[in-house]
Structure formats: structure tokens, C-alpha cells
Amino acid sequence: MAVVTPWYPNSHHPFAGAFVQAMVEATAPGTDMTVYHCAEWGHRLPAAESAAVESAYETLLGYTHRPPRPTPTAGGARLITVPVPLSVGLSYAAIAKRHEVVLRSALGNEPLDAPVVHAHVGLPGGWAALKNSRPGARIFVTEHATFLDRVLEQPEARAMYDELLQHCAGFFAVGDPVRDPLVKAFPQHQDRIGYVPNPISFAAERAEPVRELRRWLFVGNLTERKGVQWLVEAFARCRADDPELTLTLVGDGDLRRALVKQAADLGVADAVRFTGMQPPEEALRLMREHDLLVHPSRFETFGMVVVEAVAAGMALLVTKCGGPEEILAGIEDAAGEMVDVEESSDALVAGYQRLRDRLAAGLDLRPVREQLAGRYGYPAVAEAHHGAWFAREGSDG
Amino acid sequence: MADRNVLILALGATRRRAALDDAATVAADGGTATILVSDPAAWRNDKPAPGVRLVAQADLEPRPGWLRWEQLVLYRLPRRALKGRADRAWRAYRRRVADKLHRKVFLPLARRGAETRPAHLIRQHVTAVGKLDLVVVNDPASMPVAVSLLHTYGGNELPRVAYGIGDR
């Protein structure tokens, strides 16, 4: 089978598509899987140079391989990276069509040689898969995109999405924040849009259970959508009461410099560490060495980092930003504290204080870990995928 | 077998981290990695691994001797004259006067009559240490240059081409 994805971890973007890699790691065993990573190489070149790039790339494909050589990846699958040079600022429809054309060219104008194709992200991944699959292939799509509302606002992209939904054998959203806008936009396809969560590994355990909330951790992009400026402010306020608190921020982004300055201005620079981007395995290791995951995001479609933190045995301080509410529905209190999305640090500070007091009173995080392992662990998610992919095995060749 | 001589074309500087990681892998395997860049300023915050050469494309071009005097008169003497004053005056002079004169008057003069042939110059530079084994095309802006470079081989002893060390 084939997996087509615009996101996959690589040395340039170690975090990008970690959930796709996790899905591959969970589902590839027992299958013959090739992952086609259509990696977007954005540029701001003038139109003439952009055209020269497209022409040169076509020539280069003659020198390399069609498709480029595979390398081993997670779960015993093969990974083929297909660069997709893209002018920054194209419409979502244009981006998806570019993925379609480049993948076709990289395949030497042959369709994907697989009876089952699973794509990530409707546009561009699903579209590229739909237009490059062989006749009779069954196409599945998982949608994760946080920018889905903007895709559906563009008429051409919306029409392409409609076509994709009509032709795919199965369509999965990773949560309600993704499914709801799709059902609203395409009520005629409501019954075709199901759920499948991102898989999380629960294999590694921390050495000691969390007993105090001294070592704070944030994992993600340092952007406004992640609410990191409120995190640093909340940390400084809480540290005024407990000078032993530390904060580690794993990730990078536009706000990094501003956050470094903010930490200095608030007098907590010596307690705040910026690690920059780290490979997923390093981020998971850091989770096992910290006590509290603070996830102050404004909006998340799923919130993979929240489940990873539970798997690492961390306590959670999470905003009600979409995906995490769904993940923790019914077990919020057992996992930590869930607070409102506010444009201030008040809710985070109050949430931390409540959780600190509850932990001191004997909060046990282990039952939550066991419960989420049953929903998001590799075996559960692999079973869901294999059930969909191979439901008609034998009739598809 | 590890590649001995690898050229990483990173002229667009849009995927610097991947270029540096690839170069570090080559160097760690005992090979020679050259990262060819267009604008060295874009790389000022990036530190290549030991043994990795970061080469500016402009530095491959032949330079007439009088260009040293141009640098002295246009940059070094004014810098010395403005020493001690606000940096702002020096920066304004450099941006509005020196850079413009260098780019629009003296550089074209220096290039006049000389056959620069960028692809040949690149090949000449990287093969000075031995046969070129692999060309890594690191970003979109490098693709046309990569094609020109491959055309200089005319089908003989072509280096392999990849988009990253991982898929070589």
C-alpha cells in the first residue's frame, strides 16, 4: 500500500508530520508500505525564475530516479521524498494541483502501484493521491489541518474537496474540530466522514511518577496561536512563589526572540531554557524528565502533544482549545487541569495552583495513562486502520 | 561506500538546516562537503560542522587586481574615517553609496570581458580536491544551477544527484 503525505519529519523540519510518522510506525508492520512524502520547498522567486525552477526540476528527475530512491523509515516502511518546489502565496487549489503534477512526474507518469492509498490532509495530500492512484485503488484520507477553514473558504479548493470526498473509500477526521467544519460544508457526505485518532506510543515509561510540579515543559511552535507569551508570563508569576520552578520550551518560531526578551524582562531568564526544534524522540525523552506539560494553545484540531505527555506520565495544564477537550473528555480532572482560552495568564496561573494543591493531596496520573493507551496506543489505531484498508481484501488484488 | 566529495547546492538559503545536516553527515563519514551559497549573509547565524566548506558563488569568479583598491577606497578608508562616530552614519554610507557603486559600477566592470561560466567555475572548484561523487540539490533556487553543472559533464563521469543525503 502507499501513503501520500505533505508532512513527514525530516532534518529541516524535525516536528513536521510527527503524527504521520507515528501512524506509519503503528500501521506498517504486517503490510508492504511505501510512504511518498511530497515535501513542499517554498520559495519567493520571481515568476521567470520560478518557471526556470520547474523546468530544471523536470530535467533533474531524469538524472535522479523516478521516483527518487526509497530509504527505510518507521515500522519497516519505505520512504520516498519528492520535493515539491512551490511559490509562497499560491491558493490551496494551486498548491494541491502542483502536488498532483509533481508526484505524477516523479512517478514517471505511472500511477501509484498500490491497491490501497492512504493520504494525509485532504488538500494537497488527498488530491495528489486521488489523481495519481491506479483505477480501482481504494483511497483513504486523514484530515488534520488546522487551516481547514481557510481551505474551504476558497471556491476552487472547496470544489476539489467535494470531488475528493465523493471518490475516496474512507475519510477520517482526527477530531471534532476537523469534522465539524467538513460536515457543515459538505452535509451530503456526512456519513462518509468518520474518526480515527493519531496513534501515540505508550511503550516508554518515566523512571519516577510525578510528585511535584517544578519542571514545566512546552512542546510546539513558538507562535501566537500556541499562546506561548501567556505561558512565559504565567511561569514568571508562579515562580515568584516558588524559585525552584523551571521552564523548558521545545520548538522554534517567530516569537522566539520576543520570548527570550520577555523572560529577561520578567527576571526569569535563568530559569527558562529554549532548546530549539528537536526530533520527536528527544521531545519524548524530555517529557519523561519534566513534571508538567503546559499547553496554552488557542486552537488545536487534535493535540497530539497532550496524549504524548500523558504517555510520558506528565501532569497536564491545558487550555480548552478544541482537540484536547475531546481527548480528555470525562477524565480532565484525573489528568490535570483544563482552563479557558484567555488573552491573559490568569487562567494558567490559577490552574497551576489548583493542580499543585491536588497533586500534594495525592492525585494519581496512572489510570488516565491506561485509559488513553486503550484509545490512542499503536495497537488500537493500527487495528482501526487495517480494518478499513483491508475490509475487502481479496477483491482488490 | 561513503561519498568522498559532495557538493551541496544551497543557493536559495531556504533549507539551511537540511544543508548543514547533510554536510555534517558527509564530514562525519570522512568525506569532503562543500555548501555553495549565494548570499553568505543569510548564513551568518549558521555554523557548519568542522571540515565543511561554505563557499560563496561570487568568490568563485575571477577578480581583477584593481578590485582590491576599489575595496580600500570604497569601504576600508571610509570605515576608518567614520570610526568613533555613530554606526548609523557608516551603515547609511555603506547602503546608499558604497554597495550601490560596487554592485552597479565596479562589479560589472570587473566581470566585463571575462567568461565567468558559473557552472564551469563551480565544477572547477569542487573537483580541485578530486572527482565529484554527489550533487545534493538542497532548494528550488539551486535547481537550474544543478542542471547547468550536470550539462558541463556531457554524459561522462556524471556525479550522482539527490535531494538530500538520505536519498542518495
For residue A45, pLDDT beyond 90: yes
Per-residue confidence (pLDDT) for residue A395, from 0 to 100: 43
φ, ψ (nearest 5 deg) of residue A112: -60, 130
Q: Which amino acid is at A54?
A: E
Write the single-letter amino acid at A390. Answer: F
Q: How far is A83 from chain B (nearest CA, A)?
A: 7
Decide if B14 and A41 are in contact by the 8 Å CB cutoff.
Answer: yes
Q: Alpha-carbon distance A162 to A36, whole Å? A: 23
Residue B83 has pLDDT above 80, yes or no: no
Q: Distance (Å, rounded) from C-alpha B77 to C-alpha B83? A: 10
3 state SS of A300: strand
The strand pairing partners of B54, in sequence order, are B35
Which has the closest alpha carbon to A336: A306, A371, A308, A373? A306
> In whole angstroms, what is the distance from residue A332 CA to residue A330 CA?
6
Nearest to A304 by CA among A221, A364, A362, A229: A221
pLDDT average, residue stretch A105-116: 95
**What distances in angstroms separate CA A313 from CA A258, A321, B78, B104, one per listed residue?**
31, 21, 62, 62
Q: Above 80 in pLDDT, residue A231?
A: yes
pLDDT value of position B155? 73
Q: Which helix (H) or strand (E) holds B137?
A: strand B134-137
On the 0-12 / 13-18 / 19+ scale of CB atoms within 10 A, B159 is: buried
Q: What is the pLDDT of residue A36?
A: 97
Q: Looking at the complex, does the CB of residue B17 fall below 8 Å from at least one CB of chain A?
A: yes
For residues A297 and A220, the answer to whether their CB atoms sit within 8 Å is: yes
Between chain A and chain B, the number of residue pairs with CB atoms below 8 A apart is 71
Angle made by CA atoms A31, A32, A38, in degrees to the nearest 5: 115
pLDDT beyond 90 at A152:
yes
Apex A59 CA angle, A106 and A68, nearest 5: 35
Q: How high is the pLDDT of residue A397?
A: 34
Distance from CA of A71 to the nearest CA of B (A): 6
Check CB contact under 8 Å for A80 and B167: yes
Is the Cβ of A279 closer than 8 Å to some Cβ of chain B?
A: no
Q: Is A10 on the interface with B (CB under 8 A)?
A: yes
Per-residue model confidence (pLDDT) at position B114:
58
**Can you tell me the mean pLDDT for A272-291?**
90
> How much is the average pLDDT of B68-73?
89
Is A12's CB within 8 Å of B17's CB?
yes
* Nearest CB to B21 within list A11, A50, A80: A11
What is the pTM for the complete model shown? 0.77
Buried b (16+ CB within 10 A) or exposed e, A305-335: bbbbbbbbbbbbbbbebbbbbbbbeeebebb
Q: In angstroms, what separates the C-alpha of B167 from chain A's closest C-alpha?
A: 5
Specify whether the backbone of A32 is left (phi greater than 0), alpha (psi in -120 to 50) or beta: beta
How far is the C-alpha of A291 from the C-alpha of A276, rounded, in Å? 20
Residue A396 carries which side chain, given as an amino acid letter?
Answer: D
Q: What is the pLDDT of residue A396?
A: 41
Nearest CA in chain A to B158: A63
pLDDT at A148 over 80: yes
- Closest-approach residue (CA) in chain B for A80: B167
End-to-end CA, chain B:
12
Is pLDDT above 60 for B116? no
pLDDT at residue B86 tops 70: no
The residue-averaged pLDDT of A270-296 equals: 92
Find out whether B135 and B159 touch, Cβ atoms under 8 Å.
Answer: yes
pLDDT recorded at residue A394: 46
Angle at B124 between CA B19 and CA B51, to 5 degrees: 40
Q: How confident is the model at residue B104 (pLDDT cuts 50, 70, 90)?
A: confident
Count of helix runs (H) and strand runs (E) in chain A: 16, 14
Q: Are strands B160-162 and B134-137 parallel, antiparallel or unpaired?
A: parallel
Beta partners for residue A118, in sequence order:
A3, A140
Q: By percentage, how much of chain A surpasses pLDDT 70? A: 98
Query: With 50 as the cut, is the pLDDT of residue A341 above it?
Result: yes
What is the rounded distance in angstroms from the CA atom of residue A200 to the CA atom of residue A301?
A: 16
Report angle CA A107, A109, A111 to the nearest 5 degrees: 70
Average pLDDT over residues A344-368: 94
Residues in chain A: 397
Mean pLDDT, residues B6-27: 96
Residue A343 C-alpha cell reads as 488573552
The residues in A 304-323 lying below 8 A from B, measured between CB atoms, are: none
Q: Compute the average pLDDT of residues A274-301.
A: 91
Q: Tell me the average pLDDT across B55-69.
A: 84
Which stretches does DSSP call E strand in chain A?
A: 2-5, 34-43, 71-72, 78-87, 116-120, 138-143, 170-173, 193-195, 215-219, 246-250, 272-276, 292-295, 315-319, 336-339
Confidence at B85, pLDDT banded by 50, 70, 90: low
Secondary-structure breakdown of chain A: helix, strand, coil percentages, each rounded to the nearest 5: 45, 20, 35
- ipTM score of complex: 0.76
Q: pLDDT averaged over chain A?
A: 93
Q: Are strands A336-339 and A78-87 parallel, antiparallel or unpaired?
A: unpaired
Name the average pLDDT for chain B: 87
Q: What is the mean pLDDT of residues A63-68?
A: 83
